[in-house]
Chain A
Amino acid sequence: MLQKREKVLLLRTFQGRTLRIVREHYLRPSVPCNSPLCPQPATCHNDGKLLSSDVTHYMIPDWKVVQDYLEILEFPELKGIIFMQTACQTLQHQRGRRQYNKLRHLLKDARHDCVLFANEFQQHCYHPRERGESMEKWQTRSIYRAAVWYYHHCQDKMPIVMVTEDEEAVQQYGSETEGVFVISFKGVLNVNKHRAQIEAFVRLQGASCKDSGLVSDILVHGMKARNRSIHGDVVVVELLPKNEWKGRTAALCENDSDDKALGDPPSEPMPTGKVVGILQKNWRDYVVTFPSKEEVQSQGKNAQKILVTPWDNRIPKIRISTQQTEALQDFRVVVRIDSWESTSLYPNGHFVRVLGRIGDLEGEIATILVENSISVVPFSEAQMCEMPVNTPENPWKVSPEEERERKDLRETHLVFSIDPKGCEDVDDTLSVRTLANGNLELGVHIADVTHFVPPNSYIDIEARTRAITYYLADRRYDMLPSILSADLCSLLGGVDRYAVSVIWELDKTSYEIKTVWYSRTIIRSAYKLFYEAAQELLDGNFHIVDDIPEFRDLDEKSRQAKLEELVWAIGKLTEIARHIRAKRDRCGALELEGVEIRVQLDEKKNIHDLIPRQPLEVHETVAECMILANHWVAKKIWESFPHQALLRQHPPPQQEFFSELRECAKAKGFFIDTRSNKTLADSLDNANDPNDPIVNRLLRSMATQAMSNALYFSTGSCAEEEFHHYGLALDKYTHFTSPIRRYSDIVVHRLLMAAISKDKKMEIKDNLLSNKDLEELCRHINNRNRAAQHSQKQSTELFQCMYFKDKDPENEARCISDGVIYSIRTNGVLVFIPRFGIKGAAYLRNKDGLVISCGSDSRSEWKPGSLQRFQNKITSTTTGGESVTFHLFDHVTVRISVQASRCHSDTIRLEIISNKPYLIPDKELFHQSSLLLKSDLVKEVTRSVEEAQLAQEVKVNVIQEDYQKYCQTKGRSLYTLLEEIRDLALLDVSNSYGM
Chain B
Amino acid sequence: MAGLELLSDQGYRVDGRRAGELRRIQARMGVFAQADGSAYIEQGNTKALAVVYGPHEIRGSRARALPDRALVNCQYSSATFSTGERKRRPHGDRKSCEMGLQLRQTFEAAILTQLHPRSQIDIYVQVLQADGGTYAACVNAATLAVLDAGVPMRDFVCACSAGFVDSTALADLSHVEEAAGGPQLALALLPASGQIALLEMDARLHEDHLESVLEAAARAARDVHTLLDRVVRQHVREASVLLGD
Contacts and interface: CB of A to CB of B under 8 A. Distances in A.
A116 B16 CA distance: 14
A914 to B, nearest CB: 81
Contact of A5 (B5, B24, B131, B174): B24
Contacts of B176: 23
A108 B9 contact: yes
Interface in B121-158: 131
A27 B24 CA distance: 11
B3 A96 contact: yes
B84 interface: yes
A26 B9 contact: no
Contacts of A116: 9-10
Interface of A: 1, 3, 5, 7, 19, 21-28, 32, 48, 92-93, 96-97, 100, 104, 107-108, 116, 118, 120-121
B10 A21 contact: no
B84 A21 contact: yes
Given A96-B3, A104-B9, A118-B10, A26 B45 contact: no
B209 interface: no
B23 A24 contact: yes
A3 B24 contact: yes
B15 A26 contact: yes
Interface string B1-35: 00101001110101111000101100000000000
A48 B84 CA distance: 38
A882 B21 CA distance: 90
Interface of B: 3, 5, 8-10, 12, 14-17, 21, 23-24, 44-45, 84, 131, 174, 176
A23 B9 CA distance: 21
B17 A26 contact: yes
A25 B3 contact: no
B84 A19 contact: yes
A25 B16 contact: yes
B16 A121 contact: yes
21 contacts: A7-B45, A21-B84, A22-B131, A23-B15, A23-B174, A24-B23, A24-B131, A24-B174, A25-B15, A25-B16, A26-B15, A26-B16, A26-B23, A26-B24, A27-B16, A48-B10, A96-B3, A116-B9, A118-B12, A121-B12, A121-B16
Contacts of B84: 19, 21
A21 B84 CA distance: 7
Given A3-B24, A92-B3, 12 more contacts: A3-B21, A7-B45, A24-B45, A26-B15, A26-B17, A26-B24, A27-B16, A92-B5, A96-B3, A118-B8, A118-B10, A121-B16
B15 A24 contact: yes
Contacts of B21: 1, 3, 26
Nearest to A89: B5
A24 B17 CA distance: 10
A456 B17 CA distance: 62
B40 to A, nearest CB: 17
B45 A120 contact: no
B82 to A, nearest CB: 12
A5 B23 CA distance: 8
A22 to B, nearest CB: 6
Nearest to A12: B1
A32 B8 CA distance: 14
Contacts of B24: 3, 5, 26
Contacts of B174: 23-24
The 8 A-B pairs of least Cβ separation, nearest first, read A26-B16, A121-B16, A5-B24, A24-B15, A24-B44, A26-B17, A97-B3, A26-B15
Contacts of A5: 23-24, 44
A28 B16 contact: yes
Interface of A is mostly: mixed
Contacts of A23: 14-15, 45, 174, 176
Contacts of B23: 5, 24, 26
Nearest to B176: A23
Contacts, number: 53
A97 B5 CA distance: 10
Contacts of B15: 23-26
A97 B12 CA distance: 18
Contacts of A21: 84
A27 to B, nearest CB: 6
A26 B44 CA distance: 10
Nearest to A100: B3
A256 to B, nearest CB: 60
Nearest to A48: B10
Residue from the set B8, B10, B17, B176 with the largest chain A CB neighbour count within 10 Å: B10
Contacts of B9: 104, 107-108, 116
A32 B10 CA distance: 9
Contacts of A93: 3
B216 to A, nearest CB: 16
A24 B44 CA distance: 7
Nearest to A20: B84
Contacts of B45: 7, 22-24
Contacts of B5: 92
A67 to B, nearest CB: 15
Contacts of A107: 9
Contacts of A25: 15-16
A344 to B, nearest CB: 44
A28 B16 CA distance: 8
Residue from the set A27, A28, A32, A120 with the largest chain B CB neighbour count within 10 Å: A28
A285 to B, nearest CB: 50
A32 B174 CA distance: 24
Contacts of A100: 3
Nearest to A21: B84
B3 A120 contact: no
A120 B16 contact: yes
A118 B9 CA distance: 11
Contacts of A22: 45, 131
A211 B177 CA distance: 44
B203 to A, nearest CB: 23
Contacts of A32: 10
Nearest to B129: A22
B130 to A, nearest CB: 12
Contacts of B44: 5, 24
Contacts of A96: 3
Contacts of A92: 3, 5
Nearest to A34: B10
Nearest to B15: A24
B39 to A, nearest CB: 20
A25 B174 CA distance: 11
A584 B14 CA distance: 64
Nearest to A108: B9
B94 to A, nearest CB: 25
A89 to B, nearest CB: 9
Nearest to B9: A104
Contacts of B3: 92-93, 96-97, 100
Nearest to A104: B9
B133 to A, nearest CB: 12
Contacts of B17: 3, 26
A829 to B, nearest CB: 67
A21 B14 CA distance: 14
Contacts of A27: 16
Contacts of A3: 17, 21, 24
A476 B209 CA distance: 86
Nearest to A92: B3
A162 to B, nearest CB: 21
B72 to A, nearest CB: 33
Contacts of A108: 9
A104 B3 CA distance: 14
A19 B10 CA distance: 30
Nearest to B13: A26
Contacts of B12: 118, 121
A104 B44 CA distance: 29
Residue from the set A7, A28, A121 with the largest chain B CB neighbour count within 10 Å: A121
A120 B44 CA distance: 18
Contacts of B16: 24-28, 120-121
